């Protein structure tokens, strides 16, 4: 049967209406009106040190600042803390005894910036933001990232603290490289936030796996793997074994799953199940790894899921301020 042009246009319009109604039902409509007063800010971040980081982010959010400024201010807290041994100053070194940092940042406009294998500058996240705002590029690596940071006024600093140096010297005796799930249970900080205007941004910063090969890069500075933000849908960030997160483009996947209508919890769980599937396919032991995702949707709902017990995340809203154990897959 031949469809007239008029009928075709009518049915297309109807289909379009059904699609957008469906999107509304799923809570994913980008066109939902959001007034400043109706939006409550939320910030979530990975691991226990997220509690303190959230406090710093909250000050920005509460005073009406942007999610971008909030996540940068938040993750700078553990970056500057020499006692936090997996981020910024005090981070654990690679197998050659050198602390090298990975970080990335993404805002509500889709602006991105990233640094990989950055040495001697503690605030890797601010260098990533400078890449985003002051260069035509999205990622700088190693010496180039370092030189760029110096040119923007960042100060050179020795990031290897005594305790990390001692640990590394002990590690050298055996030089057995086998990252253990949850042993460093205050790892990479990934933070995502929604501000009073309803805008989302995220930041992720780390010294990566302790005693990694020199030049190794994990998921944390890779947009789509360690972090992803889509201001129409939501944001996600990852922690754990970066190789497994990269394999499934983890954070972008979580956001895409939310776009399809999954809740943040469900989306994080489905992404973890992809990790599980690829581990099984490659006949790897799931007990040897940890991967955790946290996510926030445009409506300010949060979610999390991880491979095995031990991953927690910090949540701050106008009503709540707590550390929450993420649900997990491996029950043995
Ligand atoms: C990496 N994802 O370099 C980071 C490390 C991490 O929990 O988050 N560990 O692979």
Q: Which range has the top average pLDDT, 21-30, 62-71, 170-179?
A: 62-71
Which pLDDT does position 36 carry in this prediction?
54
- What does the mean pLDDT of the chain come to? 89
- Residue range 165-170: mean pLDDT, rounded: 92
From the candidates 46, 188, 205, 239, which is the catalytic residue? 188
pLDDT recorded at residue 149? 98
Cα separation of 305 and 325, whole Å? Answer: 9
Percent of the chain with pLDDT over 70: 86
At residue 205, does pLDDT exceed 70? Answer: yes
DSSP assignment of 288-325: G--EEEEEEETTS-EEEEEEETT-EEEEE-SS-EEEEE
Domains of the chain: 33-330 (3.60.20.30)
CA distance 280 to 211: 26
Residue 104 C-beta-side C-alpha neighbours within 13 Å: 30
Instruction: Indicate if the alpha-carbon torsion angle 14, 18, 20, 21 is positive or negative.
Output: positive
**What is the b/e burial string over 22-46, where b = at least 16 CB atoms within 10 angstroms of the residue's CB?**
ebeeebbeeeeeeeeeebebbbbbb
> pLDDT band at residue 284, thresholds of 50, 70 and 90?
very high
pLDDT for the residue 174: 87
pLDDT at 17: 36
Alpha-helix residue ranges (DSSP H) falling in the chain: 5-25, 50-62, 67-80, 124-134, 142-151, 162-174, 242-247, 250-259, 264-281
Tally of CA atoms within 13 A in the half-sphere of 317 that contains its CB: 10
pTM of the model: 0.88
Residues in the chain: 332
Evaluate: CB of 263 within 6 angstroms of ligand 1: no
- Catalytic: 135? no
Predicted pLDDT at 15: 39
pLDDT at position 140 over 90: yes
Res. 37: pLDDT tops 80: no
User: What was the pLDDT predicted at 176?
Assistant: 81
Single out the residue of 214, 182, 186 nearest to residue 99, CA to CA.
214
**What mean pLDDT do residues 179-184 have?**
59
- Testing ligand 1's pocket by substitution, the residue of 116, 182, 212, 239 carrying the most ligand atoms inside 8 A of its CB is 239
Which of 31-45, 93-107, 218-232 is predicted least confidently? 31-45
Residue 33 pLDDT more than 80? no
Q: Is the CB of 209 under 6 A from ligand 1?
A: yes
For the cut 70, the answer to whether the pLDDT of residue 191 exceeds it is yes
Is residue 208 in contact with ligand 1, taking CB distance under 6 Å?
A: yes
């Amino acid at each position: 049967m031949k469809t007239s042009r008029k009928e075709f246009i009518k049915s297309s319009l109807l289909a379009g209406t059904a699609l957008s109604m469906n999107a509304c039902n799923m809570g994913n409509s980008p066109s939902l009106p959001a007034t400043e007063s109706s939006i409550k800010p939320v910030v979530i971040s990975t691991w226990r040190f997220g509690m303190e980081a959230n406090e710093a982010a909250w000050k920005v959010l509460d005073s009406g600042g942007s999610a971008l400024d909030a996540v940068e201010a938040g993750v700078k807290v553990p970056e500057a803390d020499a006692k936090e041994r997996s981020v910024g100053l005090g981070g654990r070194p690679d197998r050659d005894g050198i602390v090298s940092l990975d970080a990335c940042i993404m805002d509500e406009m889709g602006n991105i910036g990233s640094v990989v294998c950055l040495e001697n500058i503690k605030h890797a996240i601010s260098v990533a933001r400078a890449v985003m705002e002051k260069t035509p590029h999205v990622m700088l690596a190693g010496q180039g990232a370092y030189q760029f940071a110096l040119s923007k006024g960042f100060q050179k600093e020795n990031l290897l603290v005594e305790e990390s140096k001692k640990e590394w010297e002990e590690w050298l005796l055996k030089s057995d490289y086998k990252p253990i799930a949850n042993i460093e249970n205050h790892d990479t900080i990934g933070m995502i936030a929604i501000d009073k205007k309803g805008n989302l941004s995220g930041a992720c910063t780390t010294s990566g796996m302790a005693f990694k090969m020199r030049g190794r890069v994990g998921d944390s500075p890779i947009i789509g793997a360690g972090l992803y933000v889509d201001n129409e849908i939501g944001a996600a960030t990852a922690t754990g074994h970066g190789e497994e997160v990269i394999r499934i483009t983890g954070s972008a996947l979580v956001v895409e799953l939310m776009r399809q209508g999954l809740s943040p919890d469900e989306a994080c769980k489905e992404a973890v199940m992809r990790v599980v599937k690829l581990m099984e396919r490659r006949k790897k032991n799931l007990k040897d790894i940890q991967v955790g995702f946290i996510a926030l949707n445009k409506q300010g709902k949060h979610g999390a899921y991880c491979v095995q017990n031990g991953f927690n995340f910090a949540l701050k809203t106008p009503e709540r301020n707590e550390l929450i154990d993420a649900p997990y897959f491996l029950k043995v």
